[in-house]
Chain A
Amino acid sequence: MSSLISRKRSGTIFWVLSQNSGITAQSVPFLPFSSLSEPQPGDQQPSRSFDFTNPVQNHTVPESAFLTTSLETSKTPSGCHCYHTLSSCFSGSGSKHGVLSSGHSVSRINISGSEHGGRLPFSLFRRFSTATAIEPSTSDGLTVSGIIAHDWTILDESENDWKSHAAAIAQSIHVIKKRLQWKKMMVRLDVLSAELNKPDLWNDPVHAGKVSREHGSLMGKMKGVKAFEQELLEHIDMIKLAREENDPELESESLKALLKMRRKSKEKELEALLSGEQDPCSCYIEVQAGAGGTESMDWAAMVMQMYKLWAQRHGYKITVVDEMSGEIAGIKRATIKVDGEYAFGYAKAEVGVHRLVRISPFDSNKRRHTSFAAVAVIPILGDGSTRVQINESDLRIERFRAGGAGGQHVNTTESAVRIVHIPTGVTATCQNERSQHQNKASAMAVLQSRLDQLEMARQAQMNAQHTQSLTDITWGSQIRSYVLHPYRMVKDLRTSYEVSDPDSVLEGDLDGFIMSHLSASLDKDDNL
């Protein structure tokens, strides 16, 4: 039975695939794992191994690492042995562990070899191939896409139903694949494999190194996902087996393992959805009322309140930075700071125009009104990022000036500060802090983030919507509609996600909208 053993060698983890766990340590040389998952400059691909397809290569490739391994297939599901190997994070950012564990799935593919009829088993031993891209399955042929196709109802975690768990995990894997741009990745892997198999590749060692590093890194990601799929299928196999053999203990153990996997896959899915560079940042959320007087100012205040409550649910810290109230009710515009991990990653899904239809409480004739509020979100870059350098001399700082003589004559708690960045015309205002000094510091922080955002947009020529400032957002770009009359519904116009209880949404229950949008944005480029 094949098994995986991890060994530690001066800080590097080596994964070893062997046919017999008992003698692994003595008989098998190690593959430095890092050369696959996280190529270091100067790293080279394994040079000597069973390469039936291209013996010439052995002579042209510099020797630096060795892979000697033999694979043997087994008919018995062996998943339980490798739970511990699946800690890999395969969302694409710096995966370090366990990538080779999917070598295991290579062996498994042979079991159900029926699906890749044309390929000879030994082609698996070809080093630079995408053979592992073949979809793994359970002993009775169930695949991950098969699970998705079944469309099993996803119940609450507490309902200990294996189909529900499996469906949830498959769903997460689906999102993760989208995030990795799975199809494109496969094509790219094929290209790279072909490249690596060229006999003259190493004539240009720099290029060869690049190709092999990229190949290694993509293989790592791919194998990580594959291993995860494999694990899912093995649990399913185990459950079926347990039922066949009437072994309730094994069944409950496997169910538990499945539940654990479900939780982890949800985390992975979230990681995949929020893997943008700025996603982990805190952010500012800005809301501005559209035309339409008091009714739309009231709507803007409701939208702002919705975000405050949403932020509170997430345990984020909220600070009102700037707020311009309407004359009668509501706000003309307002800026809040939302402090906490991934605040930007989530909130960016809210950028755009939000529309309200209701009977206005401000209309004595009780007519139905439609009003709009625009939302912008600005990431607050961390200390590590390069931020726009602001010259003191480019700033005009305007402070609230008490009327009359000032000084001892006046006692006011008003200490608003407005800062204008003269070259760009970007401004920031703060009046909610209790001292002028603090208002200035807050306004400077807002200004800094606005300029950073401007710069990011300029540099990347990104037209991504979430980089838009309030002034860029056109009133045409509606993203969501909140109807309170004549029927009650909130509907996202981008994803068609809808909820029939507007109150819950206005009380900050926004995550459904946010997640569906985030995952839909992955669809945009047809990533799967």
Chain B
Amino acid sequence: MRLSFTIGHGVPKFSLFLRPTLSRHLHRPIYSSSTLPSPTSQNPQTPLFLRPPTHRATFSDLRKWQNWAKTLALSVGSSFVDMDNGPDSTLLCRELKWLIEDVTEDGSISETLHNEEPERTVRLRVGLEELYKLWKQRIEERRPFQYIVGCEHWRDLILCVQEGVLIPRPETEKIVDLVGDLFSDNQGLREGLWADLGTGSGAIAIGIGMILRNSGRVIATDLSLLALEVATFNVQRYGLQVSAGRGKKRAVFLFSDVIQLRQGSWFEPLKDVEGKLAGIVSNPPYIPSDHISGLQAEVGRHEPRLALDGGVIGMNDLLHLCKGAASMLHSGGFFVFETNGEQQCKFLVEYMETEAGDNFYNVNIVPDFAGVPRFVTGFRK
């Protein structure tokens, strides 16, 4: 296994501040999901939609599976909703349609499956047997749909995910919007160095990286090696880091990358850039420990505890980040942290305004799309 990120903070400082040169422009990526190059690494697992369609089944057999799967989905009714706010049959049926979209070559086939010639064969990206197994896992084990197909559609991105890596949430899309809005009237921050702490699948870093593209850079960190591997896969798929796979020459690697991945706990891998960051973004674990057991099955039973558990009141990591932010950001630098809701937001605002010294201004609570106070934002004086 080759790790395509740097461990600790052993990166020569100079490299980070070199302006991007020609080489970055040479590697212009294409975003269409099907044409993106898929990196060759064995782990992370390849999501279904990127696998080659090497399996075959007749339409009639595929239909049989579909009917079986649908019946299973319908049998759920609202029992999961009542149990733990899980998915209802309508949603499961929609997921079934997406699953067919991902495993067939022609994704729109699910719309007309029932009218295809029964004996004609269709090419699939996994075998029928596997499909039966996968859907069983979905219903019986409540395995998250995104782990089944190996990806999550987030903003306009398709991010690969797998067990051990948090599935990015729609609420978090807003962090990218907030940063994007900031860029539109602050060119300085746009050209700066950003950090996404606890990057998971790389969602926020890639979202921001796509906006930065030819100006600033993002360092994405995580404690989990698996998360970093998956993030690397995603970052490369979107052409934000093109060199890791061929990587002997460090210099090329650094010139052409918008996003750099580093392993370590929170600020620890960032010692070399202390006081130099234009922005810090993070969605750290924030669920109070004793809530974990009562979570929706898809979350509690399948997603990594490391990504969710924020300690007794859920604020261990948030507080750690708030404490460190002042020394990491340069003057005028921006931060945004996602929280569990109103209580945590208020707590953090008070902390930033009083205990964190006189270091921040414009400290604000920003609600998510559902109106829940979700983010705390502010600027370094």
B130-184: which residues lie under 8 A (CB-CB) from chain A? 144-146, 152-157, 166-167, 169-173
Cα separation A397 to B169 with both chains bound (whole Å): 19
Would A433 and B153 count as touching, CB distance under 8 A?
yes
Give the nearest-CB partner of B91 in chain A.
Answer: A414
A493-526: which residues lie under 8 A (CB-CB) from chain B? 507-508
List chain A residues, Cβ under 8 A from B308. Answer: 408
B interface with A by C-beta (< 8 Å): 85, 87, 90-91, 93-95, 98, 108, 111-112, 114-115, 144-146, 152-157, 166-167, 169-173, 283, 285-287, 291, 295-296, 298-299, 303, 307-308, 338-341, 368-372, 374
Q: At the interface with chain B, which of A204-212, A317-325, A341-349?
A: A317-325
List chain B residues, Cβ under 8 A from A414. Answer: 87, 91
Would B369 and A436 count as touching, CB distance under 8 A?
yes
List chain B residues, Cβ under 8 A from A410. Answer: 85, 169, 296, 299
Q: Name the residue in A318, A397, A413, A435 with the highest tally of chain B Cβ atoms < 10 Å from its Cβ.
A: A413
Cα separation A469 to B108 with both chains bound (whole Å): 26
Would A309 and B85 count as touching, CB distance under 8 A?
no
List chain A residues, Cβ under 8 A from B173. Answer: 435-437
11 cross-chain CB contacts under 8 A: A406-B341, A409-B295, A410-B299, A411-B296, A411-B303, A413-B94, A413-B145, A435-B170, A436-B170, A437-B155, A437-B156
List chain B residues, Cβ under 8 A from A407. Answer: 169, 171-172, 286, 338-341, 368, 372, 374
B302 to chain A, nearest CB (A): 8
List chain B residues, Cβ under 8 A from A436. Answer: 170, 173, 369
Contact of B287 among A312, A409, A432, A507 (CB under 8 A): A409
Would A435 and B154 count as touching, CB distance under 8 A?
yes
Q: Is A120 an interface residue (CB 8 A)?
A: no
Cα separation A403 to B372 with both chains bound (whole Å): 11
List chain B residues, Cβ under 8 A from A97. Answer: none
Would A408 and B112 count as touching, CB distance under 8 A?
no
List chain B residues, Cβ under 8 A from A413. Answer: 87, 91, 94-95, 98, 145-146
Give the nearest-CB partner of A435 in chain B.
Answer: B153
Cα separation A325 to B93 with both chains bound (whole Å): 10
List chain A residues, Cβ under 8 A from B299. Answer: 408-411
A interface with B by C-beta (< 8 Å): 305, 308-309, 312, 317-320, 325, 397, 399, 401-415, 431-438, 441, 507-508
Q: Please give 15 more A-B residue pairs, beta carbons under 8 A apart, in addition to A325-B90, A405-B340.
A: A319-B108, A402-B370, A406-B374, A407-B368, A407-B374, A408-B286, A408-B287, A408-B308, A411-B167, A435-B153, A435-B170, A435-B173, A436-B170, A436-B369, A507-B115
Contact of A403 among B85, B114, B169, B340 (CB under 8 A): B85
A376 to chain B, nearest CB (A): 19
Cα separation A402 to B88 with both chains bound (whole Å): 13
Cα separation A319 to B108 with both chains bound (whole Å): 7
Knowing A399-B369, A410-B296, A438-B156 are in contact, say whether A404-B85 is a contact too (CB < 8 A).
yes
List chain A residues, Cβ under 8 A from B167. Answer: 411
B364 to chain A, nearest CB (A): 18
List chain B residues, Cβ under 8 A from A305. Answer: 112, 114-115
Would A399 and B108 count as touching, CB distance under 8 A?
no
B213 to chain A, nearest CB (A): 18
* Interface residues of chain B: helix, strand, loop or mixed (majority): mixed
Would B153 and A434 count as touching, CB distance under 8 A?
yes
Cα separation A330 to B307 with both chains bound (whole Å): 40
List chain A residues, Cβ under 8 A from B90. Answer: 325
Cα separation A438 to B303 with both chains bound (whole Å): 25
Would B153 and A402 count as touching, CB distance under 8 A?
no
Knowing A407-B171, A411-B144 are in contact, say whether A309-B115 is a contact too (CB < 8 A).
yes
Contact of A412 among B87, B98, B111 (CB under 8 A): B87
Would A318 and B111 count as touching, CB distance under 8 A?
yes
Give the nearest-CB partner of B207 in chain A.
Answer: A437
- Return the 9 tightest CB-CB contacts between A and B, nearest first: A434-B153, A401-B370, A435-B153, A437-B155, A436-B170, A411-B298, A399-B369, A403-B85, A411-B299
List chain B residues, Cβ under 8 A from A319. Answer: 108
Cα separation A406 to B173 with both chains bound (whole Å): 13
Knowing A412-B91, A437-B155 are in contact, say whether A406-B370 is a contact too (CB < 8 A).
yes
Give the nearest-CB partner of A304 in chain B.
Answer: B111
B88 to chain A, nearest CB (A): 9
Give the nearest-CB partner of A410 in chain B.
Answer: B296
Would B372 and A308 count as touching, CB distance under 8 A?
no
List chain A residues, Cβ under 8 A from B172. Answer: 407
Cα separation A397 to B371 with both chains bound (whole Å): 12
Give the nearest-CB partner of B90 in chain A.
Answer: A325
B132 to chain A, nearest CB (A): 20
Give the nearest-CB partner of B155 in chain A.
Answer: A437
Knowing A308-B112, A403-B85 are in contact, say whether A408-B91 is a contact too (CB < 8 A).
no
Cα separation A436 to B157 with both chains bound (whole Å): 11
Cα separation A319 to B91 with both chains bound (whole Å): 17
Cα separation A121 to B285 with both chains bound (whole Å): 96
Cα separation A414 to B93 with both chains bound (whole Å): 11
B117 to chain A, nearest CB (A): 12
Contact of B108 among A318, A406, A409 (CB under 8 A): A318
List chain A residues, Cβ under 8 A from B370. Answer: 399, 401-402, 406
Cα separation A436 to B154 with both chains bound (whole Å): 7
Cα separation A44 to B89 with both chains bound (whole Å): 71
Give the nearest-CB partner of A320 in chain B.
Answer: B111
Cα separation A438 to B33 with both chains bound (whole Å): 14
List chain A residues, Cβ under 8 A from B340. Answer: 405, 407-408
Contact of B111 among A308, A401, A403, A405 (CB under 8 A): A308
List chain B residues, Cβ under 8 A from A431. Answer: 94
List chain B residues, Cβ under 8 A from A317. Answer: 108
Cα separation A409 to B371 with both chains bound (whole Å): 16
List chain B residues, Cβ under 8 A from A320. Answer: 111
Cα separation A412 to B153 with both chains bound (whole Å): 12
Cα separation A406 to B291 with both chains bound (whole Å): 13
Give the nearest-CB partner of B370 in chain A.
Answer: A401
B145 to chain A, nearest CB (A): 5
Cα separation A409 to B285 with both chains bound (whole Å): 10
Would A402 and B87 count as touching, CB distance under 8 A?
no
Cα separation A325 to B94 with both chains bound (whole Å): 11
Would A435 and B115 count as touching, CB distance under 8 A?
no
A308 to chain B, nearest CB (A): 5
A414 to chain B, nearest CB (A): 5
List chain A residues, Cβ under 8 A from B303. Answer: 411
Would A309 and B169 count as touching, CB distance under 8 A?
no
Cα separation A438 to B283 with both chains bound (whole Å): 22
Give the nearest-CB partner of B145 in chain A.
Answer: A413
Give the nearest-CB partner of B108 in chain A.
Answer: A318
Give the nearest-CB partner of A431 in chain B.
Answer: B94
List chain B residues, Cβ under 8 A from A405. Answer: 340-341, 372
Would A406 and B368 count as touching, CB distance under 8 A?
yes
Cα separation A415 to B156 with both chains bound (whole Å): 13
A393 to chain B, nearest CB (A): 16
Cα separation A166 to B173 with both chains bound (whole Å): 64
B172 to chain A, nearest CB (A): 8
List chain A residues, Cβ under 8 A from B295. Answer: 409
List chain A residues, Cβ under 8 A from B98. Answer: 413, 434
A324 to chain B, nearest CB (A): 9
A371 to chain B, nearest CB (A): 21
Give the nearest-CB partner of B85 in chain A.
Answer: A403
A335 to chain B, nearest CB (A): 13
A320 to chain B, nearest CB (A): 7
Cα separation A311 to B299 with both chains bound (whole Å): 40
List chain A residues, Cβ under 8 A from B91. Answer: 412-414
Q: Name the residue in A318, A408, A412 with the highest tally of chain B Cβ atoms < 10 Å from its Cβ.
A: A408
Would A435 and B369 count as touching, CB distance under 8 A?
no
Cα separation A436 to B98 with both chains bound (whole Å): 15
Cα separation A28 to B296 with both chains bound (whole Å): 89
